[in-house]
Structure 1
């Protein structure tokens, strides 16, 4: 794949999007993130209706035309909303099914493991493999204990140098360089960016720190 994955990418969880003036909020947010240079963004909506998800996604696509946009879970809607890929975990469609639906050119990410790699995961037709939770997280429900920096190192050793590993959960601006040093290729960030007063300005801080 020609796309060069960035060191940091935001995960926009629908829980931070207000119901009142939702479209206006997303218009402003999308434009500001695009202006801040966001190259890759994942949109995650676990509880909303298909209509809400579709509406949100279409606004993000319109306001972030140059950004690679990843839809969480819903491989069936990626093409409809004009997104560039999907992230699938256990309980969603399989990686191979997502690839069949989306074809060879769209981005597919999947969860690869916590304390150890899922057996056979690296042979799946995914472009990146998520690991974690690295630290305690408040934005995604998980029963997995945090793996810490040592867990990141262990998973990198198991994976070898080639697979693209994305670390997530509870990562802060202070810990992000350590997570990269431990073996992650990139970090996915939700709360630390979108709970900030100015998410676009916060993203700029992250990008400056990690590039």
Structure 2
């Protein structure tokens, strides 16, 4: 039978999740209307006779709405209740035996937590795979591995590479807040999840029908932040012709740039935002984030002075901007320096979507998941990678996260996973002042607010404006070192903005950018 896996409900009869509600009534409400498309009865506590009774009662409901019902683990219960199939885990009855007992027309799903498990189940004839756990969840305490979207993406890539055509659903911590981002960031160019599996999101809901309908809508709709639709080539000539116009558009629109940045550079970042033409607000209060996100600007999350309390503010603000598709930039300052910062990066990447991640080599290697990264404070330290290695790493992370990744250094490397560039502009004085990396993030975020269709172009525009301004400032006769450089640098940012507004675009000819 043709099965729609869009919204897969796994039941839970424990008081902590179900409460005092009647399970059959909850499932009835969830499958009504545009709701749940397949149901799994998971019950680890009831005796066999009681389990068969519950299965038959549920089947009366699901059959009325043409929704398949499968039983977790128990092939005997599935046969006794006459339902459509079973779902087996890695420690349950093997797939071949289940198929022999249930027949070729039964729906049989298999849990997969690794590439090897997924391949074995697909080759063995599973109708679908339940891939997870994506995130930690209160409904299961025996999870072998929290894979996140990157782990799920690797499994989907492997299935495609080996011509294994099998349906897939993601499970583990999936709810209205995570559904769209999970599908979006797990997807490969040729395969994405066929649906989401949820437990407490519906079982614990006060209004299961409304929640199920909302989840179906989310599954069928791209996330608000998925606005970068271009796959067109972006040549050096394209950049030289388009960046000045983008600088002019930024000056005309004066977009809001919301900085949740470290205390050391707030004043500097605000002045840089004003110089490039943005309207800055420096607020670490996440209670303001929803109102600010509604104004159409961009968010910078900078980990420079992180604490557990500030991390929670960052997470709430990120959720507010993701909800409306507001551009977001992560600057994981000193990510490899301490365990607290490493855990902070993991928490932020697991909690939401960033359009751009920018950092030095040590920070980006930490974002990649590399172990043993050592940073002296917020400095990158000595480079351990060649330019080619840096380009490959940046491209790999960008493809994994489906965003833009920028690794700064004497040569910057930036990629969207398909198009990759190196940029060699800038000046050594930028490394001798506090906050130059942080304020580059502010500049890029300002461009993201006005150019949402090609986020790589927006990022490149921010880098070039910022670093060419630094080169011009360092050449001023009055600049003798870092102290005199800062005001001249802000002046040159403003000057480039003014020149671009007047159509005087000669400044862009200083761009040292090449395809990598």
**TM-score where L is the length of structure 1:** 0.89
Determine the structure 2 residue equivalent to 1:9: 8
Structure 2: segments with no counterpart, 5+ residues: 188-192, 221-516
Query: How far apart are the structure 2 equivalents of 1:143 and 1:79?
Result: 28
Query: How far apart are the structure 2 equivalents of 1:38 and 1:73?
Result: 21
Alpha-carbon offset, residue 27 of structure 1:
4.1
Q: Is 2:140 aligned against 1:140?
A: yes
Determine the structure 2 residue equivalent to 1:29: 26
Determine the structure 2 residue equivalent to 1:197: 206
User: Larger Rg: 1 or 2?
Assistant: 2
Q: How large is the Cα RMSD of the aligned pairs?
A: 1.9
For the 8 Å contact 1:70–1:87, the answer to whether it is kept is yes
SS at match of 1:38: coil
Alpha-carbon offset, residue 194 of structure 1:
1.2
Q: 1:88 and 1:186, CA in 2 relative to 1: closer, same or farther beyond 3 A? A: same
Query: How far apart are the structure 1 equivalents of 2:82 and 2:94?
Result: 21
Structure 2 matches for 1:107-126, cutoff 5 A?
107-114=107-114, 116-118=115-117, 120-126=120-126
For the 8 Å contact 1:86–1:109, the answer to whether it is kept is yes
Determine the structure 2 residue equivalent to 1:38: 36
For the 8 Å contact 2:13–2:23, the answer to whether it is kept is no
Determine the structure 2 residue equivalent to 1:130: 130
Q: Of the two structures, which has the highest relative contact order with CA contacts closer than 8 Å and spacing of 6 or more?
A: 1
Alpha-carbon offset, residue 196 of structure 1:
1.4
Q: Is 2:185 aligned against 1:176?
A: no
For the 8 Å contact 1:76–1:101, the answer to whether it is kept is no
Q: Is 2:189 aligned against 1:186?
A: no
Query: How far apart are the structure 2 equivalents of 1:26 and 1:112?
Result: 27
Query: How far apart are the structure 2 equivalents of 1:158 and 1:203?
Result: 31
User: Which structure: greater helix fraction?
Assistant: 2
**TM-score where L is the length of structure 2:** 0.38
Determine the structure 2 residue equivalent to 1:94: 94
Alpha-carbon offset, residue 107 of structure 1:
0.2
Q: 1:145 and 1:112, CA in 2 relative to 1: closer, same or farther beyond 3 A? A: closer
Moved more, 49-58 or 31-40: 31-40
For the 8 Å contact 1:26–1:59, the answer to whether it is kept is no
Structure 1: segments with no counterpart, 5+ residues: none
Q: Which consecutive segments of 4 or more residues in structure 1 shift more than 3 A?
A: none
* Superimposed CA distance per residue, residues 54-93 of structure 1 (whole angstroms, 9 cap, x where no aligned partner): 1211110112222100100001221211211100112211
Query: How far apart are the structure 2 equivalents of 1:89 and 1:127?
Result: 14
Alpha-carbon offset, residue 129 of structure 1:
1.1
Q: What is the aligned length?
A: 205
For the 8 Å contact 1:78–1:84, the answer to whether it is kept is yes
For the 8 Å contact 1:171–1:189, the answer to whether it is kept is yes
SS at match of 1:14: coil
User: Which structure: greater strand fraction?
Assistant: 1
Query: How far apart are the structure 2 equivalents of 1:120 and 1:110?
Result: 10
Query: How far apart are the structure 1 equivalents of 2:120 and 2:28?
Result: 39
Query: How far apart are the structure 1 equivalents of 2:121 and 2:25?
Result: 38
Alpha-carbon offset, residue 31 of structure 1:
2.7
Determine the structure 2 residue equivalent to 1:164: 167
SS at match of 1:62: helix
